[in-house]
Chains A and B, each alone.
Chain A
Amino acid sequence: MAATAAQELTLGKARFLAIPLAVALAAILAVVLIPPERTPTISSAFPAGEIIVGVDASFPPFALDDGETIAGLDIDLAHALAAELNLPVRIRNIGFYALHDALLSGQVDILVSALRIDPARMDDLRYAGSYFDNGLVLVTAAEDPVSDIKSLANSRIAYEYASSAEGQVRAWEEEGQSIARRPYELPEYALDALQLGLADAAIVDATTLRLYLGARHDWTARYEYITHEPYAIAVRIDRVDAWKLVDGAVSALQENGELARILDKWL
């Protein structure tokens, strides 16, 4: 049945009023149902008054227990984080297989242990502060920059035999890229081959490249990330305050240059 003009006017007014009413109702519900954003405090995040850090100290140069002390990039980062939060820090060396159990059972507050972000674990934990990307890098001589892999058609690419770099080279070949493979027994040999002009490019992980360049100040190279493996700090999923503070502290360390200093020290 068709509405009369008067009915349409009434319905139009009703619609006109309904929208602001719905918005107002939603706003009231939001205020009532959604708790206000709380600023985390040190005492709410770390009630014990310290940060207990879990680390697998079998992973140089990130953490290594030499029988007397535990040292490495992750250890320095843990201390820097604690200093940023003005808290004492305690390091607990835990094997990889028990690392996540230790976090979930509350034996440690955070994990700083060269952990790659694992989506499969995100029901149980949050990652804060990605601090290093250990992905594969395509390295070329400084005077010979490479924009992408296509520009390396038929080039000689050096890599470590049976490493993830070899997997990348084989994947490119399966996509139709023509590559002259140069497998070496060690990743450093792949970089040596590039330096000596026996290869046009090399593929290694970012840690290997930084360590190699750190020991050879007379050689410069260009590199591009071709895969990404960010390392991040893990916090139990219900420790939201701790996660926020740690994430903020890592950002602060990035901004004030402390993180770069730690990376330069160890890599």
Chain B
Amino acid sequence: MIPTAKYRKRLLLLIALLSIAVALAWPRPAAEHVPLGEQQIVETEKPLVCVHTLLENEVQETKIKRSLQLTRELGASTIVQFFPWAYAEPAQGQYDWFHADRIIRHARRQGLRIIARLGLVPAWARPNQADTPTTLNFLPKDSFEDFARYAGAFAERYRDAIDAIIIWNEPNLSFEWGYRPVDPAAYVRLLRASYQRIKAANPDAQVLAGALAPTLEPTGSTAGLNEIDFLTEMYRAGAAAYFDALAIHTYGFRDPPAAEPAPERLNFRRAELLREIMIAQGDAEKPVLITESGWNDHPRWAAAVRPSQRSAYTIQAFKYAEANWLWLENLCIWALRYPADLLSYPDNFTLISADFSKKPIYFALQDYARGWERNENPWLPPPRKS
């Protein structure tokens, strides 16, 4: 029998209705709901202690909460957390704050102060990828104002929860500047636009410039520019009026924390060289926040130390900063935890593993932050023939 047109229409309608019914009845994962729990306070004796969390790519809310609980239990009262623009504004003018809200809600409930780092450019704010492939760190000059608008919207939305915002990350590295030659004057234009938007949204917010990476790259290098020259150039381009505090990254590499700083050497006290520039520029009143720091204990990486040294150096660094750097507001350890192991030396920067097991460095830092003195080494003396 050849179906009539009327019959075919009815059949199609029936199929459509059945499809909708199946789609509605199909089992789907329930939205994860993790209770915030009771309001907590951080018990610490060392307010300098801070950790850099990496929750922007953490999908499971339980893991976000667990990470922040462990931060509180560590005795760190402050976190640095990245809030990617590309995630928050996937289409121009259309904000999606779902993930940021979730992180901030849990962090606040754990009693943590949040220093927000902003960056990562959405596709719509970059050149057409088919014509000009660029990385997510490529911010065209025409899009500076778009980024600033995001910074302002962020400051406005979280004005009761976040009072410190870092503009970009390591703009003195070409990798972080979209694989282009770094440009201190361009960065200052971005800083100025962002500063104005943030202050308009929340005059009390602290705008942080930087965060400058430790590197020895000379002028003209394709990889970047050392942070000493970069900061000098920033001041020359008029940066002073557009930031309230300087964010810097300083790693110990193989040196102990008390090792003397020098322009041609990367070590913990390199921060002092940047401080000297601030003083020379008449900016001594502004504080500094070290938003990334630490030692690595990978057994093969050339810039790593042994795990025993990592624990000792980290605590010595906090003690050194506490005693000598009155201009320092926070010293933040990179990093609390990665969402997944990278299977190489970066994994040995973390305090806890991706599976949440605490490393000995976590316990050492906890002892320090919470004032739990530990007087004996947790290892045996070198073996000797009896």
Q: Answer whether A162 and B344 are a contact pair too, CB < 8 Å, given A62-B300, A184-B379, A189-B382.
A: no
| B117 shortest CB reach to chain A, Å | 17
B105 at the interface (CB under 8 A from A): no
Chain B 137-164 interface residues, beta-carbon cutoff 8 Å to A = none
- Docked Cα-Cα span, A118 to B382, in Å, equals 36
- Docked Cα-Cα span, A89 to B361, in Å, equals 42
| B6 shortest CB reach to chain A, Å | 32
Over the window 45-76 of chain A, the binary record of Cβ atoms lying under 8 Å from chain B Cβ atoms (1 yes, 0 no) is 00000000000001110101000000000000
From the candidates A167, A196, A208, name the one contacting B299 in the complex (CB within 8 A). A208
| A113 shortest CB reach to chain B, Å | 9
Q: Which residue of B lies closest to A58 (CB)?
A: B302
B175: chain A residues at CB < 8 Å are 97-98
From the candidates B299, B342, B383, name the one contacting A163 in the complex (CB within 8 A). B299
B244 at the interface (CB under 8 A from A): no
Q: Which residue of B lies closest to A59 (CB)?
A: B300
B37 at the interface (CB under 8 A from A): no
Q: Are A162 and B311 in contact (CB under 8 A)?
A: yes
A238 at the interface (CB under 8 A from B): no
- Docked Cα-Cα span, A101 to B241, in Å, equals 37
B384: chain A residues at CB < 8 Å are 196
B383: chain A residues at CB < 8 Å are 184, 189, 192-193, 196, 198
Q: How many residues of A contact B (CB 8 A)?
A: 36
B380: chain A residues at CB < 8 Å are 182-184, 189
B359: chain A residues at CB < 8 Å are 162
| A124 shortest CB reach to chain B, Å | 14
B124: chain A residues at CB < 8 Å are none
B306: chain A residues at CB < 8 Å are 160, 185-186
| A22 shortest CB reach to chain B, Å | 30
Q: Which residue of B lies closest to A194 (CB)?
A: B383
Q: Which residue of B lies closest to A160 (CB)?
A: B307
A14: chain B residues at CB < 8 Å are none
Q: Are B308 and A162 in contact (CB under 8 A)?
A: yes
Total A-B pairs, Cβ < 8 A:
78
| B106 shortest CB reach to chain A, Å | 25
B33 at the interface (CB under 8 A from A): no
B378 at the interface (CB under 8 A from A): yes
- Docked Cα-Cα span, A162 to B361, in Å, equals 8
- Docked Cα-Cα span, A160 to B378, in Å, equals 11
Q: Are B378 and A183 in contact (CB under 8 A)?
A: yes
Q: Are A60 and B344 in contact (CB under 8 A)?
A: no
Over the window 321-356 of chain B, the binary record of Cβ atoms lying under 8 Å from chain A Cβ atoms (1 yes, 0 no) is 000000000000000000010111110000000000
- Docked Cα-Cα span, A207 to B357, in Å, equals 25
B343: chain A residues at CB < 8 Å are 115-118
B360 at the interface (CB under 8 A from A): yes
Q: Which residue of B lies closest to A62 (CB)?
A: B300
A120 at the interface (CB under 8 A from B): yes
A114 at the interface (CB under 8 A from B): yes
Q: Which residue of B lies closest to A193 (CB)?
A: B383
Over the window 351-386 of chain B, the binary record of Cβ atoms lying under 8 Å from chain A Cβ atoms (1 yes, 0 no) is 000000101110000000000000001111011110
A225: chain B residues at CB < 8 Å are none
Over the window 125-164 of chain A, the binary record of Cβ atoms lying under 8 Å from chain B Cβ atoms (1 yes, 0 no) is 0000000000000000000000000000000000011110
Over the window 303-314 of chain B, the binary record of Cβ atoms lying under 8 Å from chain A Cβ atoms (1 yes, 0 no) is 100111011000
B299: chain A residues at CB < 8 Å are 163, 187, 205, 207-208
A105: chain B residues at CB < 8 Å are 133
Over the window 173-192 of chain A, the binary record of Cβ atoms lying under 8 Å from chain B Cβ atoms (1 yes, 0 no) is 00000000011111101001
Q: Please name 24 pairs of A and B residues whose Cβ atoms are closer than 8 Å in the assembled complex, sorted by A.
A: A58-B303, A59-B300, A59-B301, A59-B302, A60-B300, A96-B344, A96-B346, A97-B175, A114-B300, A115-B344, A117-B343, A118-B343, A160-B306, A161-B360, A162-B310, A162-B360, A185-B306, A185-B308, A185-B377, A185-B379, A192-B382, A192-B383, A196-B385, A207-B299
A residues adjacent to B (C-beta < 8 A): 58-60, 62, 64, 96-98, 101, 105, 114-118, 120, 160-163, 166-167, 182-187, 189, 192-193, 196, 198, 205, 207-208
- Sample of 18 further A-B pairs with CB below 8 A, known A162-B310, A185-B308: A58-B301, A59-B302, A59-B345, A60-B302, A97-B346, A115-B344, A117-B343, A118-B342, A118-B343, A120-B340, A161-B378, A161-B379, A162-B311, A166-B360, A167-B357, A182-B380, A183-B379, A184-B379
